[in-house]
Amino acid sequence: MITASRILILDCGSQFTQLIARRVREARVYSEIHPPTRSVEWIRAWQPTGIILSGGPSSVTDEGAPTFDPAILDLAPVLGVCYGMQWIAHAAGGAVKGGGRREYGRAAITVGEPGGLFAGFDAGESSQVWMSHGDHVETVPPGFVATAASSDNPVVAMRHVSKPIHAVQFHAEVHHTVRGAEIIQNFLFGVCGCVPDWTPGHFIEEEVQKIRTTVGGKAVICGLSGGVDSSVAAALVHKAIGDQLTCIFVDTGLLRLHEREQVERTFRQHLGIKLVVVDASERFLAALAGEGDPEKKRKIIGHTFIDVFEDAAAAAGEGAEFLVQGTLYPDVIESVSAKGGPSATIKTHHNVGGLKPDMKFRLVEPLRELFKDEVRNVGRELGLPEEMVGRHPFPGPGLAIRVLGEVRRDALDILRKADAIYLEEIRAAGLYADIWQAFAVFLPVRSVGVMGDGRTYEHVIALRAVTSTDGMTADWYAFPHDVLGRISSRIINEVRGVNRVVYDVSSKPPATIEWE
């Protein structure tokens, strides 16, 4: 990515690493996450404006713990976060010790030296941060000074006296650190001298040129789901290559109510993009028959998608060589250890880890380095209607991962109706824009109820609604009780086969947003 400024984030295994990238981009500075194994030569060639070393679960003295060539400290300004701070202290000759001063959760720090990372703070000022560490810096290395302390640790931030090397023991990237964004921006602009040029318009301009160079005059197909990601990806590729693109919308039988009709109307009438609709519902349901494991369901769907695309492209005589997908950065991060780094795999996304290894298409993934809100802004810049770019996320595997256990046609029909009522009531209450994602889940259990003076033994529907900024962390949404009651009453009264509705009050982490 050609920008005036770019921040290299080296991933030491923290589940917060992606949030560092998110906070940097919120400041309109481009960032990428890479593994700690990147060589000094590679980093020098990448030409970072600044380098951030993430947190991680290891101790710096552990065998196999992430480590770096100390020469990276002279390549660009450096910010160490948690484990990153401990590595800097250890590598530069300070003392790092485990135990004794462990800190987890909210903590108060006292700023000892305003300026640098703490520009805008007052000396002696107290500020809330988020700690998550067992080891701590006992003694700062030669040439460094402590710049902040907590009641349990005298060194929770430090800097080099003459080099642009800074470090913090706390996680500035999480929202619980009250002035964390300010601290990160002080590093970006005050220490690194970054230019805030990471904008939707800049991204579109560069990505259009990249797509044209990659594709040339070849035919391209796009797997269109109707969701935000694939819609923006299709519009972006269409801007680059026009009628070389054919969108293929697959009716998997796993769609929401009236989804197919809405997609056909939007893309044919409003966007003028070539669209082929394939009804493959029987094929998907047959492939999923008897399978209840969520990981296997995702992979079955991913493989079947590719099979359908290959058949559709052959039938249309397009001779397509490229397949466009709306893969996002969180998909990549959750599906694989970030670009070879040590972060843990959470789940396989059907369009990342679930693709067939022998598929004939070459992938075009123009949104692969973007977070969801960045995708929405790109869509707006491309002129897509707000009802499209403002939609809640919908998973590529569709309702298959919202029917827990085996995917059955009767369960899908019940879920479709319940989900439609749920979203209808959310919109009627004026709450849709306040919620990151809302959906219903069909549970593989029955419960006893009473309807019309008679005993029932029917299905249970769970409702999920969360607030989030990027999908990497999320809190459950606190509905007004009257709205939740109205939703429950309508589902039970109008959806035959349901006699109980429950609401999910789990945050991410420890839960994920989707149930499967």
Residues forming the active site: 82, 171, 173
- 124: helix, strand or coil: coil
- Separation of alpha carbons 30 and 16, rounded Å: 18
- Greatest C-alpha distance within the chain: 81
Contacts of 159 (CB under 8 A, 6+ apart): 113, 116, 117, 144, 145, 147, 165, 166, 167
Quickly count: other Cβ atoms within 10 Å of residue 168's Cβ.
28
Angle at 159 between CA 153 and CA 160, to 5 degrees: 135
Q: 365 and 477 in contact (C-beta within 8 Å)?
A: no
- CB neighbour burial string for 207-224, b if at least 16 within 10 angstroms, e if fewer: bbeebeebbeeebbbbbb
| Strand order across the 220-224 sheet | 275-279, 245-251, 220-224, 322-324, 362-364
Residue from 76, 29, 28, 27 nearest 53 by CA: 76
DSSP label at residue 57: S
Angle at 232 between CA 226 and CA 234, to 5 degrees: 80
Length of the chain: 516
**Which residues are bridge partners to 150 per DSSP?**
109
**Which residues are bridge partners to 500 per DSSP?**
460
Q: Residue 354 carries which side chain, given as an amino acid letter?
A: G
**Which residues are bridge partners to 516 per DSSP?**
none
- Separation of alpha carbons 341 and 17, rounded Å: 11
- Separation of alpha carbons 390 and 294, rounded Å: 28
Residue from 190, 181, 133 nearest 159 by CA: 190
